[in-house]
Amino acid sequence: MKTEIKSKKSPKKRLFLKIGTGVLLVIVVGCFIGCCTPEVLLQVQDARDGKVLKNGTAVIYSYKYQISVYGIEKLHPFDIRKYERIYLALIDDGLLTPEDVFVPEALTNDDILLIHSEAFIKSLENTNTVASYLEAPQMSMLPAFVLEDKIITPFKCAAAGTFLAAQQALKCGTAINIGGGYHHAKPDKGEGFCLFADIPIAIRKLQQDGEIKTAMVFDLDVHQGNGTAICLAEDDTTFTFSMHQGDIYPNPKEDSDMDVELMSGEGDREILPKVEKYLNAVFEKFHPDIVFYVAGCDMLNGDPLASLTMTESGIVKRDALVINACRKRNIPVVMTLAGGYSPNAWRAQYKSIKNILKLPLGTDE
């Protein structure tokens, strides 16, 4: 009898022991990695103003954008170190110093409630729900106390970076948030690795502060900006444009003010002329006080979640087209990074930002 009971309980005990040892191990490894964090990353944690670069561009970033859950985050297709890699590469190039960078605070609940519901905020206390928003079932094994610190706060900081970028863009012309672009987030739920609708929140905050009346969202991430479309639906003060691959997530699509569908296999040759064409088309329809550019680079060839075939140099040209179209019209522009899941995604965005930081004011190239 005793033996029976023992044999029933011992596998459970062994499992707990294994999980406990595993958790301890990842915490030790996490602490070790934390100790090895480069100094240039540690310098961009506390909220502060930076310096506008010579060509009228402000760069916004915080080391706090980084989601780090003892390595579990690496199981997600999103390259979560993308932001950090881009920042470090720009520092290495000497194009940026840590002192140049504008570092945001985290969003407050009042900010979040400008777009999202109370029920949504409450839902962020549930690990399973957050794991479903992030499409990362492995994260549902995390204890609740880890959630706020390791996942929610990084998203709050990266989303707040979009608002800070908008404030700077209104002063200097162009601002790049090395993060943000969470265009699948909806008022009552997160979706597609997006928690907070950073751009709609930034628009409402700027409108509330009297800094802008109107705004445009120009979205070239390969997935439709369905969350943005819902958050800003039936709003005459905003114009939403999304150009995306038609036969992939999200399904069904929502109605932006203007949607353009691309077909599987299209690359630089087809897409770049369309970007130019629709930039002209949207500015004929709407002249906003500010543009939010969702510069996802999952249009790249080889992206695991899409099947377009743009090259890295095509992405660089695409982003320059958008930035220059706004500059020529004297419209402040905020660039956010959004999606991009292939191993070279971070490099394409780094090259693009490097190009924008070198662009002379008011020219085409």
Q: Is 184 known to be catalytic? A: yes
Segment near Zn ion (CB under 5 A), from 149-157, 264-272, 297-305, 312-320? Answer: 297-305
Nearer to Zn ion, 299 or 359 (CB): 299
- With CB under 5 A as the rule, give the number of residues binding Zn ion: 5
Q: Specify the stretch interacting with Zn ion by CB under 5 A; choose among 39-47, 63-71, 292-300, 354-362.
A: 292-300
Question: What's the min distance (Å) between Cβ of 255 and Zn ion?
Answer: 18
What is the spatial distance between Cα 120 and Cα 100, in angstroms, rounded to a whole number? 35
What is the number of the residue whose Cβ is closest to Zn ion? 339
From the list 251, 213, 172, 227, the residue with the least C-alpha distance to 338 is: 227
- Rounded to a whole number of angstroms, the minimum distance from the CB of residue 215 to Zn ion is 21
Helix/strand number for the chain, H first, E second? 13, 7
Q: How far is the CB of 220 from Zn ion (least distance, A)?
A: 10
Q: Which is nearer to Zn ion, 189 or 327 (CB)?
A: 189
- Minimum gap (Å) between residue 81 Cβ and Zn ion: 17
Side-chain-facing half-sphere of 263: CA atoms under 13 Å: 2
Check binding of 296 to Zn ion (CB under 5 A).
yes
* Residue 83 vs 102, nearer CB to Zn ion: 83
84: contact with Zn ion by CB under 5 A: no
Q: Is 298 in the site for Zn ion (CB under 5 A)?
A: yes
Which CB sits closer to Zn ion, 79 or 298?
298
Choosing from 76, 116, 183, 184, the catalytic residue is 184
- Please tell me whether residue 303 binds Zn ion under the rule CB under 5 A: no
Considering only CA atoms, which of 242, 222, 181 is closest in space to residue 307? 222
- Distances in Å between the alpha carbon of 276 and those of 187, 269, 270, 319? 32, 12, 11, 11
**Of 87 and 182, CB closest to Zn ion:** 182
| φ/ψ (deg, to 5) at 43 | -80, -10
Asked whether position 191 contacts Zn ion by CB under 5 A, the answer is: no
Closer residue to Zn ion (CB): 47 or 248: 248
What does the alpha-carbon distance between residue 238 and residue 217 come to, in Å, rounded to a whole number?
8
Q: Which residues contact 171 (CB under 8 A, 6 or more apart)?
A: 52, 58
- Per the listing, tokens 């929502």 go with 254
Whole-angstrom Cα distance, residue 76 to residue 254? Answer: 26
278 C-beta neighbours (distance < 10 Å), count: 17
- Work out how close the CB of 339 gets to Zn ion at its nearest, in angstroms, rounded to a whole number: 3
Are the beta carbons of 337 and 198 closer than 8 angstroms? Answer: no
Binding pattern to Zn ion, positions 322-351, x when CB under 5 A?
-----------------x------------
Shortest spacing between CB 337 and Zn ion, in angstroms: 10
CA-CA distance, 193 to 227, in Å (whole number)? 12
What is residue 32's three-state secondary structure? helix
Q: Which of residues 213-252 bind Zn ion (CB under 5 A)?
A: 221, 223
Yes or no: say if 298 and 310 are a contact pair by the CB < 8 Å rule.
no
SS3 227: helix
| Interface positions with Zn ion (CB under 5 A) | 221, 223, 296, 298, 339
Which residues are designated catalytic? 184
